Amino acid sequence: MKKHGRVWAEIDLDAIEFNYQEMKKKLGGGQKMIAVVKTDGYGHGAVPIARFLEPLDDIWGFAVAAVEEAQELRRHGITKPILILGYTFREDYRWLAREEIRPAVFKYDMAAQMSEAALAEGKKFFIHMAVDTGMARIGLPDTEEGAEEAARITALPGIEIEGLFTHFARADEADKSHAKIQFSRYIHFLELLKEKGVEIPLRHCSNSAAILEMPGLTADLVRPGITGYGIYPSEEVSRESLPLRPAMSLKSHIVYIKDVEAGTPVSYGGTYVTEQKMRIATIPVGYGDGYPRSLSNKGWVLIHGKKAPILGRVCMDQFMVDVTGIPEAKELDEAVLMGESEGSVLDVDILGKLSGRFPYEFVCNIGKRVPRVYIRDGKFRENP
């Protein structure tokens, strides 16, 4: 890593390992985990994270949202099962069968087309059926008709039903009644399938929030997403239920410091005007990097462990902060945009509130031009 980078995200692999170990302890049973690495591993880097997690015995495989994400993992040598949680298109079915990618299936006509692809490739098509129990998104209806459709899917040549899953819509709320209803509907659907002679080898429902606060749900697999990266699913889940360590820090450097007089407008539109003499530092990061423009005049960074408030609008590639109260600040000093600095912490929950963004959204939006550097055993690693 360059000594003075414009901006970079540090990804702590030790923190990710800790988070998965804590989730394993929380679950207690023999459930394995599907590590969710969609949206480039929630902005942390899907390929490096998958490479790091793949050797772990507790990792059954990985989940992504789109074919392109599965292709990237296979292209970089990931061999464990990959589940696509979202919709897949017919033109990709032969590749999916060839690479043994597990698609989510929730319509008979999808499965029939996959059957054709499997026979053309001379492969079995391993699929996971999705059932809608209360999300109103994708999934077979959790009804007698839905079970009949699932049974028809099972009978297709070349199709191997490997799993059945649903997704909780409100498990991250303090009131778990909706999630419990969803789980009971899922169990009922399994019973309907059993009556029709359909056996499901792998059952999975639990997302991050359910792992934290509903660990007793009976299933074969769980799907940790945001918790693997050390972020809690919502403010309503108990932090005491599971200790997590944030994996991502976002850092930059001061590139310029100037003294300005009272009455000086700062940045586009002059939305901030100095009321006294001030010392202003420029940080070479902006909304072009995924750093929210909505932090204009309300966010701050940490320099030598002290708050440096943002002055004026965040530009595409730069923004300015007040270092009047940090006399030791100098050009090329580190600025922490998210993370820890000399005992002070600026976490994604704070940044989410200030910017009007969901914490998931904040880390996912850190842009491609922000290099990710990986830390293992306290040391930077070039190829995690």
Q: Is 268 a catalytic residue?
A: yes
- 25, 268, 353, 368: the catalytic one is 268
Q: Domain containing 367 — which CATH number?
A: 2.40.37.10
Closest CA to 288 of 368, 356, 350: 368
- The domain total for the chain is 2
Q: Could you give the residue ranges of the DSSP H alpha helices within 303-381?
A: 348-355, 359-364
Residue 295 lies in a domain: yes
Residue 24 lies in a domain: no
Is residue 256 located within the same domain as residue 202? Answer: no
Q: Domain containing 192 — which CATH number?
A: 3.20.20.10
Radius of gyration of the chain (CA): 24
Last residue of a domain, one of 174, 200, 228: 228
- Give pLDDT tens digits for 20-60: 999 999 998 789 999 999 999 999 999 999 999 999 999 99
- Give pLDDT tens digits for 181-209: 999 999 999 999 999 999 999 999 999 99
pTM here is: 0.96
- 38, 93, 287, 360: the catalytic one is 38
Q: Is 229 a catalytic residue?
A: no
Domain range for 61: 31-228
- Give pLDDT tens digits for 209-268: 999 999 988 899 999 999 999 999 999 999 998 999 999 999 999 999 999 999 999 999
Closest CA to 154 of 97, 201, 84, 222: 201
Is residue 367 located within the same domain as residue 321? Answer: yes
